[in-house]
Structure 1
Amino acid sequence: MVEVLVNSGLVTQEFILSPLQFGVPYSRPRYFCLAKRKPLSFQYQLFNNQLLLSPSPLFGNNEKTVIGENSQSQENWDNLIDSCQPIENFLEFTSSSDQVDTETGPFANAEVSGNDQETSETFVEGDEFDFGAIDQFVVPLSLIERWGSAMDIVYPDSKRCCCFTKSYYRYVKGTGSLLATIQPKNKGKTSSLKEQCLRYFTPREVANLHSFPKDFQFPKHISLRQRYAMLGNSLSVAVVAPLLQYMFANRHDFSAQELH
């Protein structure tokens, strides 16, 4: 792809970036390619035709070290995660009064399909679905018992959660993190998952982690499954916005003749 762009008279800069690098507690590394047709140029031309693993150029840092392997070290990522906001800043439901009884709630008897960890479709489709009811997002005990060891569990004070895919809420394995609304003394799976009142992140919360604006709303006729699917195929505004700003940073370099 890059070869075709270069042969077509464009200059490229490539990035692999995650919202974690922008202070958002959301692990979603994605490849981005920026291209400008010559004679346009990027603000820092030394990074042309290279793959960058850091957002430093986007914020005025043109040091060569930003593309080094050290930027991907475990220590560096640990520091990035520590600097992120806590997940509780992105939640729609936070108070203890929002909890429901998982033994008697609407998901208590949800079925699991024979070949995978799929939630009964009874609770994810239909015109009567109440998107504002927290009990609709509680993880059924049947899924916890069967797939608890494969779940990624996070807490309100966590500073990282896994990438949400388009299959989130339909499947619990590898589709995104689940939130423990009751924090045990010992975090993780050493404590009983049943006692942690696990729930799915709501579509609004997933949109928050994608850094969508507060006034963003889905049309009312869009089902819950469709909302998660579109969010799973979406982009992080926290990442794309500075990329676009960097992309157009040098527009003032043109002469009047070139602009015409």
Structure 2
Amino acid sequence: MLMLGFFLLLANLILDKKHSGDARASSFLKILELIPHTSRPPRMLFVENVVGFETSDTHMEMIDTLTKSDYVTQEFILSPLQFGVPYSRPRYFCLAKRKPLSFQSQHNNNKLLWSPGPLYGRDDQVEFDKCQAEEGSEHLLQSCEPVEKFLDSTAQVNGEPSGFDESENGSRDCDGQEEDDTVSDSAHQYLVPLSLIERWGNAMDIVYPDSKRCCCFTKSYYRYVKGTGSLLATVQPKVKGKESCLKQQRLRYFTPREVANFHSFPEDFEFPKQISLRQRYAMLGNSLSVAVVAPLLRYLFGSSPVSTTE
């Protein structure tokens, strides 16, 4: 199977709004160009990308190439929230099979769906043109496990936050850039310096152990506090949120092990000792959600009758 991920490369293209005009798209477009000319085209394809790719000209070229090469596609926009994980990370996925192979739910061919229903043989598919993503629905969030189920017990911090500042955790710039990215066994290295809370508290996404949702972690998490992922309040106030004093909530970053938990990595997963803290966060921010990808791959590789009508 040929894996057409390139989700990092194309994510930048979407954000820059250059689409296929960006030189960084050349490798992906080259693969698309080669598919029709291969003597033995891959029987199945799996594509993952950021949300927004589905409206790009690169996406149009991909679908056109696959259609002309006798592939049938089913597209999804899914998030771990839909699989019981309190982690908002919606991503675009395209599954493709080359005829005469076919999908189990053939009535979803050439559709873009926002629901994982077809992966489990259900008919609760939600088409893109009929409904927006259901991530914000209260029903969906209630079905998720609380954040505390994904925490690392060894990362609990004792002591007062007032005794922890930039000088004890490496210097950061005004956006929260970490210069000392060594890995240690001290849980205190994950506490958010008070100076960052004072200056950037309004831009922080704060979650609590009983929260049912946290924001997507990016490769810049721990280096920057703005827009890179949620922070955990280790002391829960009477009134949650920024109405209460953030300094007293003893905010900390989620550890790499905890971020891996939100990605549904196995319990025995661990990084090699030589991988720095910054590298760990970067690789996790660029990784996939196992909870989402696993059922997609099972569905892709699932046995299906050979189509006689296509």
2:280 matches 1:227? yes
Q: Structure 1 CA distance, aligned partners of 2:159 and 2:217? A: 24
2:118 matches 1:118? no
Offset, 1:99: 2.5
Offset, 1:77: 2.0
Q: Structure 2 CA distance, aligned partners of 1:11 and 1:120? A: 46
Offset, 1:73: 5.0
Q: Structure 2 CA distance, aligned partners of 1:163 and 1:249? A: 30
Aligned residues: CA RMSD: 2.1
2:223 matches 1:170? yes
2:146 matches 1:86? yes
Give the equivalent residue in structure 1 for 2:106. Answer: 45
Q: Structure 2 CA distance, aligned partners of 1:12 and 1:152? A: 37
Deviation digits for residues 46-70 of structure 1, max 9, x if unmatched?
A: 111110110000111135x532634
Q: 1:144 aligns with which of 197, 212, 237?
A: 197
Give the equivalent residue in structure 1 for 2:123. Answer: 62
2:84 matches 1:26? no
Q: Structure 2 CA distance, aligned partners of 1:181 and 1:158? A: 12
Q: Structure 2 CA distance, aligned partners of 1:33 and 1:50? A: 10
Decide whether the 8 Å contact of 2:114 with 2:134 is kept in 1. no
Task: Give the TM-score normalised by the residue count of structure 1.
Answer: 0.88
Label 1:108 to 1:149 Cα distance change in 2 as closer, same or farther (>3 A): farther
Give the equivalent residue in structure 2 for 1:5. Answer: 66
Decide whether the 8 Å contact of 1:26 with 1:162 is kept in 2. yes
Secondary structure, in 3 states, of the residue corresponding to 1:15?
strand
Q: Structure 2 CA distance, aligned partners of 1:100 and 1:4? A: 59
Offset, 1:148: 0.2
Q: Structure 2 CA distance, aligned partners of 1:73 and 1:217? A: 33
2:213 matches 1:154? no
Decide whether the 8 Å contact of 2:79 with 2:292 is kept in 1. yes
Give 5+ residue unaligned stretches, structure 2. 1-61
Deviation digits for residues 112-146 of structure 1, max 9, x if unmatched?
A: 42xx4123412x23xxx31x321110000011001
One-letter amino acid of the structure 1 residue matched with residue 179 of structure 2? E
2:144 matches 1:98? no
Higher relative CO (CA 8 A, sep ≥ 6), structure 1 or 2? 1
One-letter amino acid of the structure 2 residue matched with residue 77 of structure 1? S
Offset, 1:102: 2.0
Give the equivalent residue in structure 2 for 1:258. Answer: none
Give the equivalent residue in structure 2 for 1:247. Answer: 300
Offset, 1:106: 5.9
Offset, 1:105: 2.8
Q: Structure 2 CA distance, aligned partners of 1:19 and 1:143? A: 29
Offset, 1:107: 3.9
Q: 1:209 aligns with which of 262, 271, 284?
A: 262
Give the aligned length: 244
Secondary structure, in 3 states, of the residue corresponding to 1:189?
coil
Offset, 1:93: 2.9
One-letter amino acid of the structure 2 residue matched with residue 181 of structure 1? T
Deviation digits for residues 168-222 of structure 1, max 9, x if unmatched?
A: 0000000000000000000000000000000000000000000000000100000
Task: Give the TM-score normalised by the residue count of structure 2.
Answer: 0.74
Deviation digits for residues 217-240 of structure 1, max 9, x if unmatched?
A: 100000000000000000000000
One-letter amino acid of the structure 1 residue matched with residue 176 of structure 2? E
Q: Percent identity?
A: 63
Q: Structure 2 CA distance, aligned partners of 1:238 and 1:105? A: 36
2:248 matches 1:190? no
